[in-house]
A and B are shown apart, each in its own frame.
Chain A
């Protein structure tokens, strides 16, 4: 067991502005899975076993403990609680073998949960996604404050999770708080 302590991407305190709450979520371990040539069937089987279903284009499978979403053709991001799945990449690689390329992504992203009545208004001045038409499980890659982010519409109607580049966690958080203030 190593003795290094991880630091959160930002360590931001949860903030509520008006009806909107912005909370950093430090508990998500991530790995991407890309099917290899000839490995598509195995990949599908493993994803079904892990998630219950293979995420379709533009969709997330919100499953417990692992969840996953479509990133690109034959490519998915799989997430699970950090406490139990810090080695998610190794876990997936063990299952997938040569059927897929697995890449650890936990360190690449910062996750923010945005909830509240005016979340859709906030989204409208943050990024170009049709937030009011999105249903639970929809995911869009989009630009927020010039940063490439994934926006996942979670089960609750007023809840989105934003995955953004970790190195820009501070800038992204600032943009979220600014937008929340703007629509509050």
Chain B
């Protein structure tokens, strides 16, 4: 198809023809086009339907501030909704579809909303759908969702990958227009490390869209040459297609680089986008300015756009939006569009409400006139103009450029709570309080001329970097003064759109005021002005101006709403980066992982650790069969379990024992060398924090273990005590969790197995219960042995340097073969600790005290320790406090599930009569029935009591008997065997 609106000129590559489709129709454009410019070149002005009223819409702008031309880009899994056609870079094979329509784009069945718009005004949803309540979910919401959506998601996994990265620089420059380029040049020539970021794929900013000269050359050429010079400098990083999305604390900036969005699919292994965190010593914001529209009736028809957008399409992209163009402007800049289009041979009429509007020899200027209405169902065909004497005239045209003046782009200056200041000469807000380290230059600062931008850029860079000496001479450039007469909306305008993305009209703002929502923050939320994905970049000023007029205040008195990151929408994938699916977080593998995989182990994630949960054998069909076998085999002969994941902290120093006395509630000072002791750590409020063992390897050396889950917080806590509470104790802490492979070998034959491996005498006399020591294994490998038991059996934990972990497990299995040694996983481990009545995470759950756990007497009164004082509070020492007990079912077939609550056998079942709750439960293969650990009020005095265990939620109601938590070997004879 012919590109009927393509005209000469522009920075597109006419030799590269790109094929693309929009709503299934095939079109052609060129490299350097955006989707919007290519569509306009093909005469397509209608690109979408509006959010609420489904009004036909085309692009309002040629940039990222675009509210209207939102399309669904790409297809299938890569389909991305709400993509601005004005920034989407054209590539060969691009497919786009329009969104928010029912039927075709030109015949949208929901356009009926436009006819009933009298009912859909501000606050409509609040007022209408309040009643009846039940209707909301079932009736209203589905209808509204269908009607008032934007684009839709593919509902498939995103096939692309995203990276996150970190950059450091002396000077970050945001925006590569004349100010940004000159700032970059100035800074780079001084030797500073510079990052120049621009959201556009072509650097140069407005220079690419204007016909201005800089020195002897065209502005766009000067920009290209400057970019080339910067690109050749090693201290400069040019980042095109990169949107700085937020200014965060202390010179930290977020930026999204669109690495692959300009090609059909990313190259293999390459990211689609990178979310950069940029650490900048200083920043120059040169983000330019955004032209604002004027509100008049039906100002939203396709073909109506900002005057500067018309200029961009003509000068940069070689596109005439219409052959006959009208310009409606209140300032001199609007006349530039007229001049440029006229120079390209297009017919132009200027409508300027100022009686003293500048005249032209080339085209018609209607001074003192206003556009009062427009016509054209799917695109502009006529504008209606009213003169100051009250007479009307209709002008035939298919493009209308509107200019209400320019708003400096202050967005990023406000991310650290700064508010802009009003500037009367520009009739706009300009930056005031700035984030630390930021300087603003060029149009973003209010210097709207090219010469002002160049000088401002150089000055800002010099100020930021503290450069001395005379400022070099700037090249000659356009330096026209700003001449603007504030003009926000045409008298009598009603269905005049302020926020085209959220369909907010002048009438809505008036209604908001009338109904008492007068503050800007209320106005915003009541009308949704500025709350769409464009954050009202083209809309907010008009709303503020009208609210100011209605309130009889000035615009600065009314104030602005907050600007917040991100500057433009960010794909959720970019925020997630590589941390998706399997890579959501790293995995920690134990030294036996490869061996366990060979055994067919089923793994479970604990923290980030992958632990063997059980080891199924042929013929076993349920996990219970495997677990029961592992438990019985261990208690019957011997089992082995990888316990490497327990946190380990090396505690050394002359005051190591005194330090442990401080962090554990029980005493450690008198623990002999070569012995292990169980230790309970409390929080300062007296609640149990963690438990573990401390093994005294030498007078000045302990090895402390923590639970797997708490390894990190406990280490942090220990460092806090060491550095902040006892700063001069001679104690050093090193986490050694991963330095040692550690295995529990448990069961009556444990010693017989280890005797074949350990080089030293480990007989009961030489190495009794709770002994520990440095040993060697297999003929001389350094190792550690601890005679501790979580299972309640004769047991050891043996540790070797991690690199030997794989070899050791295989050696243990060989040595244990004659005893049918059985590897067991975390499930069997759990069953055995419950059978033995040992507390674990379910019991140390952040609400329980040492007394609750039945360890109240462990809290030493002979010494200070963290939590000791508050553990003695009256409220935590009541006679009916919870105590750890065992629970078994009366009917041995019943389960006694965790989470169920204990009630008196004959009392009411109600929360008010709650007696306690089950924390851990399992089937005990040794006892042949289910067992549980529980906390029960005054539990230690209620052994033998029959109670009801209930869980109304899951339908549990069983009779149980309270018993000792030590179901197996209560005297501990096995441990000491």
Contacts and interface: CB of A to CB of B under 8 A. Distances in A.
A124 B167 CA distance: 6
Contact of B806 (A7, A105, A171): A7
Interface in B711-752: 728, 730, 732, 734, 736-741
A1 interface: yes
Interface in B435-459: none
Contacts of A101: 650, 652-653, 700-701, 732, 734
Query: Which of B161, B165, B811 gathers most chain A CB within 10 Å?
Result: B165
Nearest to A73: B723
A104 B590 contact: no
B588 interface: yes
A182 B586 CA distance: 19
Given A6-B803, A133-B168, A167-B609, A36 B739 contact: no
A152 interface: no
B598 interface: no
Given A125-B164, A128-B277, A171-B587, A108 B738 contact: yes
B163 interface: yes
Nearest to A147: B586
A165 B652 CA distance: 22
A178 B270 CA distance: 9
A150 to B, nearest CB: 14
B808 interface: yes
A45 interface: no
Contact of A37 (B168, B594, B730, B782): B730
Nearest to B728: A37
B274 interface: yes
A32 B734 CA distance: 8
A103 B702 CA distance: 11
Contacts of B653: 36-37, 101
Contacts of A145: 578-579, 583, 586
Given A4-B781, A36-B654, A145-B578, A104 B801 contact: yes
A65 interface: no
Given A146-B585, A178-B578, A124 B802 contact: no
A181 B161 CA distance: 12
5 contacts: A3-B779, A7-B803, A107-B738, A175-B583, A184-B269
B780 A2 contact: yes
Interface in A72-128: 75, 87, 98, 101, 103-109, 124-125, 127-128
Given A107-B741, A107-B802, 6 more contacts: A6-B807, A9-B802, A103-B734, A103-B739, A108-B737, A125-B274
A34 B594 CA distance: 34
A2 B586 CA distance: 34
Contacts of A130: 168, 279
A4 B804 contact: yes
Interface string B685-724: 0000000000000001100000000000000000000000
Contact of A174 (B168, B583, B730): B583
A51 B270 CA distance: 42
Contact of A182 (B270, B802, B803, B808): B270
B608 interface: yes
A130 B811 CA distance: 46
**What 10 pairs between A and B have smallest CB-CB spacing?**
A107-B802, A171-B586, A101-B652, A6-B803, A181-B269, A37-B730, A108-B739, A34-B732, A2-B781, A125-B165
Interface string A18-34: 00000000000000101
A165 B161 CA distance: 25
Contacts, number: 149
Contacts of A4: 777-778, 781, 800, 804, 807-808, 811
B807 A124 contact: no
A129 B652 CA distance: 32
A80 B271 CA distance: 38
Nearest to B648: A108
Nearest to B578: A178
Contacts of B588: 165, 167-168
B131 interface: no
Contacts of A166: 738, 802
Per DSSP, chain B at the interface is mixed
Contact of A168 (B163, B269, B589): B589
B166 interface: yes
A38 B729 CA distance: 11
A85 to B, nearest CB: 13
Chain B interface residue number, banded: 35 or more
A129 B166 CA distance: 8
Interface residues of A, number: 51
A4 B164 CA distance: 42
A181 B268 CA distance: 9
Interface in A170-184: 170-172, 174-175, 178-179, 181-182, 184
Nearest to A89: B782
Given A37-B654, A171-B587, A106 B801 contact: yes
A117 B956 CA distance: 65
Interface of A: 1-9, 32, 34, 36-38, 75, 87, 98, 101, 103-109, 124-125, 127-130, 132-133, 145-147, 165-172, 174-175, 178-179, 181-182, 184
B586 A146 contact: yes
Contacts of B738: 107-109, 165-167
Given A1-B780, A167-B738, A127 B166 contact: yes
Contacts of A6: 801, 803-804, 807
A108 B736 contact: yes
A140 to B, nearest CB: 12
Contact of A170 (B166, B589, B732, B804): B589
A4 B779 CA distance: 9
A37 B805 CA distance: 35
B560 interface: no
A125 B163 contact: yes
A124 B165 contact: yes
Nearest to A34: B732
A146 B165 CA distance: 13
Query: Which of B271, B274, B732, B807 gathers most chain A CB within 10 Å?
Result: B732
B776 interface: yes
B370 to A, nearest CB: 54
A105 B739 contact: yes
Contacts of B737: 108
Contacts of B591: 7
A36 B168 contact: no
A155 B590 CA distance: 33
Interface string B573-597: 0000011000101111111001000
Contacts of B701: 101
Nearest to A144: B586
A2 B654 contact: no
Nearest to B167: A124
A174 B161 CA distance: 14
Given A34-B734, A167-B589, A178-B578, A3 B739 contact: no
A167 B802 CA distance: 9
A22 B804 CA distance: 24
Interface string B423-442: 00000000000000000000
Nearest to A6: B803
A51 B701 CA distance: 26
A36 B585 contact: no
Given A4-B808, A36-B730, A107 B739 contact: yes
Contacts of A178: 269, 578
A107 B165 CA distance: 30
A3 B776 CA distance: 12
B700 A98 contact: yes
B581 to A, nearest CB: 12
Interface in B760-812: 776-782, 800-808, 811
Query: Which of B279, B652, B734, B811 gathers most chain A CB within 10 Å?
Result: B734
A175 B578 contact: yes
A147 B732 CA distance: 23
Contacts of B164: 125
B652 A8 contact: no
